[in-house]
Amino acid sequence: MPRLSSPRRRLPVILDLLAATYPHAGCGLDFHTPFELLLATVLSAQCTDRRVNLVTARLFPKLQGPQSLVDMGEDQLAQEIRDVGLFRSKARSLVSLSMDLVDHHGGEVPAQREALEALAGVGKKTASVVLANAFSIPALAVDTHVFRVSHRLGLSTAKTADRTASDLMAMVPESRWIDLHHQLIWHGRLVCHARNPACSSCPLCALCPEGRRRVRPSPSPANL
């Protein structure tokens, strides 16, 4: 089998194949405002988007912004979000970050990374999701799917999500960051599963070190 070229040389074809395979990939969380997206993203830690959407469909109509969440209070909020994992600590973070928004940002979600990451419970990934999806500011969040798929494709060998994000952003044009984030998530959910990736039907297989390792050509009769 011919050797694979470097990640940088394979990357343009990988980007084109992902864009062609997932032309409608987008954010899986339901929201109408930056504040709703911020809440949903915090709730989505270690929880599926589907479950978060069920919870926020009940929660969002009861909220008119950060002050109303502060007024709701931690105990009632914890009850409202009890179907997501870690609901008590998430309720604490959401009340605290809502207080910050009221006290320091006029009740609005800031569109600057530094200000977002200063909010309670908001790290690099959450800030990137909000910047990209609420404000269309280029950012590339690395979640478990993006981490797994980009490593299998040999696009990063970094040990942490933040360093993986740095590797990807160094290689991928900024104009593709937002779409690539969604496309890698969709690919991870639909094809490149954590346990049994469907390499034999994956459009990226010929460009993927992990896929080539898993899908070996059958031996020809002459070699039997």
Is 199 one of the binding residues for ligand SF4 (CB under 6 A)? Answer: yes
* Minimum CB–partner distance for residue 45 and ligand SF4 (Å): 24
Q: Does 185 bind ligand SF4 (CB under 6 A)?
A: no
Establish whether 125 is a catalytic residue.
Answer: yes
Among 153, 155, 180, 184, binds ligand SF4 (CB under 6 A): 153
CB of 148 to ligand SF4, least distance (A): 8
155 binds ligand SF4 (CB under 6 A): no
Least Cβ distance, residue 202 to ligand SF4 (angstroms)? 3
Query: Least Å distance between CB 80 and ligand SF4?
Result: 37
Nearer to ligand SF4, 65 or 203 (CB): 203
Site for ligand SF4 in 3-22 (CB under 6 A): none
- 162 annotated active-site: no
Nearer to ligand SF4, 72 or 172 (CB): 172
CA 80 to CA 67: how far, in whole Å? 17
Catalytic residues: 125, 143
Contact residues for ligand SF4, defined by CB under 6 A: 149, 152-153, 191-192, 197-199, 202, 204-205, 208, 210-211
